[in-house]
Amino acid sequence: MEEGISVIVCCYNSSLRLQPTLEHLYSQSKIPVSKWEVIVVDNASSDNTSEKAREIWSSFTSAKPPFKVVFEPIPGLSSARKKGIQEARFKYVLFCDDDNWLDQYYLNTALNIMNSSPQIGALGVIGYPVFEKKEPPYFWQNQYHVLAVGSQWKNEGDITEERGVLYGAGMVLNKAAFNVLRDQFNFEFQVSDRMGNNLLSSGDHELCLALKQIGYRIYYFKSLVFKHYIPAKRTSLKYYKELFFSFGMSDAMLSVYFIDRNNINSIKNDYRYICMRCTKNIIKRWFTLLFKGYYFSFNKYKYLFHLHHLYNNLGMLKTMMLKKNSFKKIIKENPLFNSGTGRKLVFFGVISLCNQLAPMIN
């Protein structure tokens, strides 16, 4: 693989969002055009995304890096990202969503950081929101993290053991690390991530968890900055509820990463036990919302913390009831979980993810 960065822009009906995204890419500085490329992945769009992407890029007249549009017919952000990685020619790949506007020196800074250590599996960044309309109430208190903006951890550098996961917007991936996952451990995403208008997510978290599982490190730096365009519909209560529900579904599907392999038949690992705990939490949150006045209040945004946990548990409950104990088969048969490497490193992955999911399942 060549030294440089392949920028992967995954798109689903993105024709109206691409202009500023590609303009910010075109404006990158301090990195030679020979050290990067742009790959637009059209993920089964029904509009003219591919044509619009080519039209915008061809309108830029000065020196620019290679550019191509590829088509991925299987719906889902995870499938689109896999297609982009497959097409990438450089050592590192950058997930630039179709609504991400990268800072002018983003690629140069990212390349320098990734070159500093071959053990970096994924590199996280910091995004700042640009709202279509006014900023929603109580935003920084309880909404920023679900929209892939804001600080990802209190400290910079290696955050593998403290947090260990990143949001996918703006994330840089070590392609060699992904190739190890794919070729040596038959890695397949447990979650499909965003699929059209479906809000199922957490493919970015899963990728980080899998990289940790085989010994790579997760880094985060605030010097990598981008702006994230947030349309008005993504700050509505209806959208948040659907998003929180999808988070719960994703958490259930990722349970395979934090189950203790040495105690796999424990009652606490059984789906019926988890469903009972989810039910308890749902009832608890519903009564909390009732007694705090949510159902009679005009200002419902201040209850988002409780809504998050309510709908998260609802999503987890639904998926656990459908999946039952299917994760046990995955643990026994998937090389990522039953290999010597997986067993050796699983403790750290278990502790880290349990810390993150504890509020959702406890």
Q: Mean pLDDT over all residues of the chain?
A: 89
Average pLDDT over residues 35-64: 96
Check whether 188 has a pLDDT greater than 90.
no
What confidence score (pLDDT) does residue 269 get?
A: 87
What is the three-state SS of 112-144? HHHHCCCCEEEEEEEEEEEECCCCCCCHHHHCH
pLDDT tens for each residue of 218-248 = 999 999 999 999 999 999 999 999 999 999 9
What confidence score (pLDDT) does residue 354 get?
A: 36
Q: In terms of pTM, does the model score above 0.75? A: yes
Of 259 and 226, the structure prediction assigns the larger pLDDT to: 226
Q: How far apart are CA 39 and CA 84, in angstroms?
A: 7
What domains can you pick out in the chain, each with its CATH number? 2-234 (3.90.550.10), 240-361 (no CATH)
- Band (pLDDT 50/70/90 cuts) for residue 348 is very low
Check whether 158 has a pLDDT greater than 60.
yes
Query: Exposed (0-12), middle (13-18) or buried (19+): which is 140, by Cβ within 10 Å?
Result: exposed
What confidence score (pLDDT) does residue 199 get?
A: 57
Write the CB contacts of 112 (distance below 8 Å, at least 6 apart in sequence).
none
Question: How many CB atoms sit inside 10 A of residue 350's CB?
Answer: 15
As given in the structure block, the two tokens for residue 357 are 């999911």
What confidence score (pLDDT) does residue 238 get?
A: 94
